[in-house]
Amino acid sequence: MSGYIEPRDSSRYWYGDNDKRILEVLAGRYVGANPPVPFALRAFAKSGILQSGNGLYEMNLSTKLPEAKHGQYAYLYGLVWSDDERSIDGVIEPFSPIKLMVNGEQVYRSSVVDELKPDAQAVIPLLFRKGWNQVLIEARKTVAGFGCRFGADEAKVRILQVLAPFSERAGSAGWVYSEPADNSRLLGASVSFAFGDSEAASGLRWLPRTEWTAEEAIRPNGERLFGIPSLPAAALGWTKLNMQGCDAVIVLEGTAYGPTSIWLEGQLAAALTEAGPFRVEVDASAGYSDLLVRSVSGMAGWGFELNARHEGKRLALEAPAPIHGYSGEWLYAGPLDSNDAVDPVTVCSTSALFPVINKSGESCGYTYWSVDAPQTRVRPYYENAMLSNKWTTGSATNYGRWDYPLGVTMYGLLRTARELERGDLLDYTLSHIRSCTDMYDYAMWDKEEYGFPSINHQLVLIRMLDNCGSFGSAMLEAYGAAQDHTFLRIAKRISEFMLEQLERKEDGAFYRQCPGEYSADTMWADDLYMSGPFLIRYALVTGEPYSLNEAAKQFLLFKSYLFMADEGLMSHVFDFKYGKATLVPWGRGNGWCLFSLSELLEKLPLDHGDRSALEAFFEEMCAGVAALQGASGMWRQVLNQADAYEEASCTAMFAYAIARGVRFGWLKEQEAYTEIALRAWRGLTSGAIDKQGNVHGVCSGSRYSFSPDYYMYDLRTVLNDNHGIGIMMLAGVEIMRLKAAKRMKATAQLTEKI
């Protein structure tokens, strides 16, 4: 056995053949470890440091600090939170002399070549300790430039969110940058720095600014936030009324600077046609209630002041959602078309976008909620997988992330919820998926507005099958229960990418072009999973057979490049740079293929022209895989290497596919393959799934190599890796169904004898 867990700690030791209980424990552990943590809402100044399309922070100080003189210094400073010690590759592209410090230690200093070569790029390992990490960049101005680009390599996967330092900006997002200084502030040979916790005590003035000038502060809020429109325009204000105790009549009073409407908990409370003071009485319910104000510009300006009172006592107003880095009570949106109707229920949401108008009254795109600070909006951030925030306790959670390992995890949860008739698991899974889909329109806008999205990175920046196919397939699997039209809009975009934009070889086969990357001009067995299940489900949902036919075509094309006929296995990768397959049968790569082929055969019409060839392919692969099953029931990381470690995710995929092959009758040797599938499940429950539902023995995400040593020695296993959790549940579901079919068959045979 692989020795991942002691026999006494295994799920099989405690639960035996109670597969339902094992599924419950697997799902329960995952849900418990990944609670529904929402996106972090933070104040963010658009006038600050934005990101480029590839996720690097654009730190061109020549434009930010045009008054800087030759030879002066400026600093860019931010905080990065890490739940555990971790290392990522940083990328820096200097425009001038640059020093980069992480936690007070210099990790990079530019050379003259870096500074003067236009396309110079340095890759720097960044080691983040557990907790807060200080990242400081010193830039010195020359006549050639001032500043740099900086960020994480593969930024849409290795998310590097930066928070502002200093107590005055606590919780807000983004870098701060200093005004020019004549002398370096780095201290001594160790190049440590000491700006302290307070911006005021740092000795420098920091931007972007967070406070209104005295002149700005006295203007009505509509004017200071959105300017003076040439035509009538509207703005919205949203807050929460904290009405503690019981239901009561309250007084809303203040000043309107133009025509103003007020809604309390979705009900119109006042419609003021003229500017001036107002006082209205309204029934209020106990607890928190949405309070929405719409102000239209008029002769006296625009905006409003509003207080709520009960029996003469002022009631508390609070921001309608926790906004880190903002202590105000109201959120604002504008300038909007004054003729547009307002639906308070739709408007009072952090997923809402608002169509804005320009000074000529023409529609000019969309906007989102702003806070009462210069050029500062609310911005949602995904911080769960690698980053967290100081208001979140416990370890990081994967909830709300769109990526391919979580796609198969969601699929596993959906199938488990149905098999166990667990509405709570279904609700959890739909909630995770909807956390992505509900913010789809916002995320697409966020990318256009700020250069790089703060959430849904892979969905927004679709460039390869990994980004969309797996989670898109789970989304379509959930569509029947959710009946959410947004799912179909997203699926349409994914299908257009796969069918119309994805790189193909001359024969139509999908492959990875990836110019300039190590993986340029390659075909991966993994991509049969990253494309096939989505295309299958898209055909079923839309009723159009084209995408199903495309999936069938891709399996046969991939076979022509990757299938090692003498062994009945798939090479992990075909590298077109060398014109060769790697001939390394990586376990999970073969698992993705066989897993997905079983999904295709389940839905492919019996009279489909490719069906016989695909069934033959399935049988050949099952035979090749079965021949290499270990005595423990598990398969190895590299299938044909006797000294490779036993790996759990490929074992689960083979158990899943073979169990389905028996159930659906695609495999002729029913009894032999039934035992192979059951032995695999016994191996997993004895050696890879413990009694708490932890999953052991799952290989981390892989690159590729022509040598099996890379897979065997460089790729190690990760506890509770998302590449394995969902497929464990899926394997458990299929084993339960296989056992049920076996019992039914035995009962039928017994009945015939009687």
389 pLDDT band, cuts 50/70/90, is very low
Backbone angles phi, psi at 248, to 5 degrees: -165, 165
The runs of H, that is alpha helices, within 284-348 are 344-347
**Cβ–Cβ < 8 Å for 18, 693:** no
pLDDT digit string, tens, across residues 474-509:
999 999 999 999 999 999 999 999 999 999 999 999
pLDDT at 188: 60
- Cα torsion angle, 236, 240, 246, 250, sign: negative
Percentage of the chain beyond pLDDT 90 is 86
Q: What is the pLDDT of residue 387?
A: 39
Provide the pLDDT confidence category of residue 191 given band limits of 50, 70 and 90. Answer: low
Cα distance between residue 168 and residue 202, in whole Å: 12
List C-alpha distances in Å: 249 to 195, 279, 318, 736.
Answer: 51, 13, 19, 59
Fold of 43-207: Jelly Rolls (2.60.120)
How far is the C-alpha of 475 from the C-alpha of 491, rounded, in Å? 8
Integer-rounded Cα Rg, in Å, for the chain is: 29
Stronger pLDDT, 754 or 464, i.e. the higher one: 464
Compute φ and ψ for 60, nearest 5 degrees. -85, 95
Which amino acid is it at 388?
S
pLDDT tens profile 36-68: 999 999 999 999 999 999 999 999 999 999 999
Percent of the chain with pLDDT over 70: 97
pLDDT at 262 over 90: yes
Question: What is this structure's pTM?
Answer: 0.93
3-class state of residue 618 by DSSP:
helix
pLDDT in tens, 414-437: 999 999 999 999 999 999 999 999
Beta strands in 410-554 (DSSP E): 522-524
Low-confidence winner among 228-232, 331-335, 692-696, 721-725 (lowest mean pLDDT): 228-232
Q: Provide mean pLDDT across the span 650-672.
A: 97
Greater confidence (581 vs 751) lies with: 581
Which pLDDT does position 386 carry in this prediction? 46
The mean per-residue pLDDT over the stretch 380-386 comes to 76
Q: Residue 103, by phi and psi: left (phi above 0), alpha (psi -120 to 50) or beta?
A: left
Which CATH architecture is the domain 214-372 placed in? Answer: Sandwich (2.60)
- Which of 129, 146, 128, 126 lies closest to 138 in space, CA to CA? 146
CATH 1.50.10.10 segments of the chain: 9-35+399-751
* Confidence band, pLDDT 50/70/90 cuts, at residue 197: confident
What pLDDT does residue 190 have? 53
Where in the chain are all domains bearing CATH 2.60.120?
Answer: 43-207, 214-372
Say if residue 359's pLDDT is above 50. Answer: yes
* Alpha carbons 51 and 59: distance in angstroms, whole number: 9
For domain 9-35+399-751, which architecture applies? Alpha/alpha barrel (1.50)
**Is the predicted pLDDT of residue 329 greater than 70, yes or no?**
yes
